Amino acid sequence: MKDIMTAPFMVEMIRTCTNMYAHGWDERNGGNISLMLEESDVREYGDVNRVLRTIPTGFSAPTLDGKYFLVTGTGKYFKNVQYAPDVNLGLVKLTDGGTNAQLLWGFTDGGKFTSEFPAHMMSHAVRISVNPANRVVMHCHPTNLLAMTYVHTLDEKAFTRTLWQMCTECIVVFPDGVNVLPWMLCGTNEIGEATADKMKTARLVVWAQHGLYGAGVDLDEAFGLIETAEKAAEIYMKIAHLPLVNTITDDQMHLLEGRFGVKAREGYLS
């Protein structure tokens, strides 16, 4: 059996958590990540039949029954993941229609998965129905996107178009746009259900006055989506109080569609 600390999925998870903290997206215990794994990935690094303990999930996710997830822990600081991954991360398998999670590795201090675990799993279920290759759901608190929700309308089309106009690459990186939820109480099934519904049409979902959810086929894609949207929001926050002299026009964005083989969200460009 190979050392799980050498597993590519573990190495990348630790690097991603460390990088997100360094970017200032995950202060204190803010933010969480869940990475879906295949049994073939896990079996190489541990006994999938050796269950350390069973943790109730508080929700039902039949389509994820039997799926494996490497997930950050509740109350854990991203800055500590690189120093004590076995405390701050856990490897679980969903069972009983998703109502229970079997802990196979990690959370050695008796902890459990993030309080946003239901929201993550609901989003996973939706995203794999849209794109079966999706493996990552990532939540964090990017400063400028968060600030933007205080001064910009939360209309999804307007919010998306503003971000697209800030950086040439934006429409290429997230042509599906950004969906937005008004402030809701976090850590509840209600916000999880609302986020999952928004995940049907976009891989980025802004939680107003709170943060952002991003999804992707791997950790790099999810991180890159958030990084690009946050960069656009930073530019917006730097110029929002100034008279706008130039912008990226819809005609120019249509040129980008053709050049990079992407299609902007229907109805978002003239």
Residue 234 known to be catalytic: no
Place of tokens 């249509």: 254
Selected catalytic residue, list 12, 27, 38, 116: 116
Tell me the CA distances in angstroms from 93 to 54, 59, 99, 148, 194, one per residue in order: 9, 14, 11, 37, 24
List of residues 6+ apart from 138 with CB closer than 8 A: 20, 31, 32, 33, 213, 214, 215, 216, 219, 222, 223, 226
Bridge-partner residues for 206, per DSSP? 180, 212
The H-or-E segment that residue 159 falls in is: helix 156-166
At 227, the amino acid letter reads E
- The residues annotated as belonging to the active site are 116
